Chain A
Amino acid sequence: MIDGALMYGAAAIAALAVVVMYRVVKGPTMQDRIVAINVIGTSTVVIIALVAAALDQPEYLDIALVYALLNFVLSIAVAKFTVDRGEVL
């Protein structure tokens, strides 16, 4: 029962991440795309954590942590990359 609820939640969030891909494709600015990629990355972290709980595989939580870290570094790096003198934080 709990596994089912967690799995259905993960599936719904995955479907919403696919919907968000619309903004990645459409743009129009680079920053719109980064915001959308950031949302997809956060959704991926949540999906990995939900699947870890549903399948009772606690090792997946490590992967979720690393993915969250990479997602953050990617957003900051690309945000810095789009500005000339790079002062974004």
Chain B
Amino acid sequence: MTPLEVAVSVLVAAGVFFVFVGAVGLIRLPDVYTRAHASSKADTLGAGFALAAVMLSFGFSSQAVKTAVLLIFVYVSSPTAAHAISRAAYRSGVEPWTAGDGDGGEEG
């Protein structure tokens, strides 16, 4: 294996790992705020690593620049969208989960 192959494989694996973490957070956490918190951070990192792998495999070219633009856009837009959704949830009266609510989860 060449160093490039190793680097691309490691970056793809890291991206899949963080998308997995985001999916687990989205399924397991108790309310919309914690879910947005987990999914936006893990998903941004996952997209970052995976798109870095894409950039590396395209090499030094205009495609790599296009992928970098895509990466910057995902980095800016994903947390902004999560913030807007959380704020919409707060405005429409979704109560934040607290330790007193017990396991919460499915109903909360």
Chain B residues with CB under 8 A of A72? 73, 77-78, 80-81
Q: How many residues of B contact A (CB 8 A)?
A: 55
The range of chain A's interface size is 35 or more
A32, B85: Cα distance in complex, Å: 9
- The number of A-B residue pairs with CB atoms under 8 Å apart is 172
Minimum C-beta distance from A79 to chain B (A): 4
The chain B residue with its CB closest to the CB of A43 is B19
Binding site for B on A (CB under 8 A): 1-2, 5-6, 8-9, 12-13, 16, 19-20, 22-23, 26, 28-32, 34-36, 38-39, 42-43, 45-46, 49-50, 52-53, 58, 61-62, 64-65, 68-69, 71-72, 75-76, 79-80, 82-84, 87-89
17 pairs, A vs B, C-beta closer than 8 Å: A5-B53, A20-B26, A29-B89, A31-B36, A32-B32, A35-B82, A36-B39, A39-B22, A42-B46, A49-B50, A62-B66, A65-B73, A71-B81, A72-B77, A80-B88, A88-B84, A89-B83
